[in-house]
Amino acid sequence: MHDTLRINGQRLISRLERLGEIGALPGGGCCRLALTEEDRQGRELVISWMYELGLQVSSDAMGNVFGLRPGTEDSPPVMTGSHIDTVRTGGIYDGNLGVLGGLEVIETLNEAGIVTRRPLCVAFFTNEEGARFAPDMMGSLVYVGGMSLDDALATKGIDGQRVGDCLEQIGARGSEPVGNPDVHAYVELHIEQGPVLEESSITIGAVEKVQGISWQEFCFTGTSNHAGTTPMRLRHDAGYAAMATGSFVRELANRIGGDQVGTVGALQMEPNLVNVVANQASLTVDLRNTDNDRLKQAEAELLDFIERLAEREGIEVQHRTLARFDPVPFDTDMIDCVEASAKAFGHSVMRMPSGAGHDAQMLARVCPTAMIFVPSVDGISHNINEYTAPEDLEAGTNVLLRVLLDLAG
């Protein structure tokens, strides 16, 4: 039907750069934490673009914003979008691409005079990053009914301020109840934030699922001893237990294989002196898998290892779950559609999981959902050096165009 239709890559990049000026950091990248003055300015700019493109703009009590383009029939829209808040040292692509890619599709359709059967909707959700207010993906979580509006509004941030007050302060609290509009399907364009596409020289990722996440904290308590006078056999070394756990996590992830990853990113030892055996050591373990059974297996093996280790070393261990999310599978037909659209443009494409969390995983609770990934140079994100090549931005947005046309008829 519209096989020759293409988005305008330069126009897309201009919008990304213009939005990136708000909260721009001296060395590059930007800082637009959720519900700050910078976020207010970013929202104002994106909403002004929505109006310019003729969209019907609404926002809900959680500050989620929706730009609707009517179709020939009055039915729930096909939605695309993401978020425009960033982490403290963020890039200009994470989240923003999904929103501005959606606007670029709208402008392309406007120019071509194409009206879809179903309405289209470009959305951005409040506080996806969670860098100021936990949990992350808060706006989309409330939108799908996974968290009450009251709980979200009462959430205090790292600066002690409440979400509800901040929404009021920046004038972002909308008049619509949360959960509107109803949505027919959701597709989100996003940078990969990892190195897989680049390493495989592939342009488009058809995201099949979001990894399940298990965050745990272990605190070992042993005995502080002199590093010179205490024979190895008489030690109760909390630091050794923590380091041995770190080595085990690597071995475990490699052994389970597939999508399994395992990371010990944080570790503290006490008293942390060169010549004192540590009496306290705590560490975090981040385990992820797209297969929940394997994730549970990894968790069980880790616990078993630590219990045997603690008994052998004569040390106490305390255990706390910091976060646990099951994997989220996306819709098979939607994934097929992303893959077919990429191939139609002659782009290389691979099915892959998402290692990071996205608003799409919340939307998947209420409608058929999928995601389109484009490569991140060096896999870098949440960093001022985050970068995706112009041709990849353009390729991903063309795929988004085609998927939206396909879904909206």
Residues annotated within the binding site are: 83, 94, 129, 190, 382
CB of 78 to its own copies, least distance (A): 27
| DSSP H/E element including 222 | none
Pick 52 or 251: Cβ nearer its own copies:
251
Residue 389, Cβ density class (10 Å: 0-12 exposed, 13-18 middle, ≥19 buried): middle
Cβ pair 388, 191 in contact under 8 A: yes
- The structure tokens listed for 11 are 């126009």
Pick 58 or 297: Cβ nearer its own copies:
297
Cβ pair 277, 228 in contact under 8 A: no
CB of 1 to its own copies, least distance (A): 35
Interface with its own copies (CB under 8 A): 192-196, 199, 211, 213, 215, 224-232, 234, 237, 239-240, 242-247, 250, 253-254, 260-269, 271-278, 284, 286, 288, 322, 354-357, 379-383
Pick 114 or 266: Cβ nearer its own copies:
266
Supply the DSSP string of 325-391, one letter for each residue: E--EE--HHHHHHHHHHHHHTT--EEEEEESS--HHHHHTTTS-EEEEEE--GGG--SSTT----HH
Cβ pair 363, 210 in contact under 8 A: no
CB of 230 to its own copies, least distance (A): 5
Cβ pair 366, 184 in contact under 8 A: no
Pick 170 or 210: Cβ nearer its own copies:
210
**DSSP at 189:** E
Pick 183 or 207: Cβ nearer its own copies:
207
CB of 74 to its own copies, least distance (A): 40
CB of 148 to its own copies, least distance (A): 26
CB of 232 to its own copies, least distance (A): 5
Annotated binding residues for Zn(2+), written as ranges, equal 83, 94, 129, 190, 382
Cβ pair 14, 68 in contact under 8 A: no
Pick 2 or 320: Cβ nearer its own copies:
320
Pick 50 or 360: Cβ nearer its own copies:
360
CB of 6 to its own copies, least distance (A): 29
- The structure tokens listed for 267 are 């570790």
- The structure tokens listed for 340 are 């077919």
- Candidates 358, 343, 253; CA nearest to 305 is 253
Question: What are the φ/ψ torsions at residue 136 (nearest 5 degrees)?
Answer: -75, 170
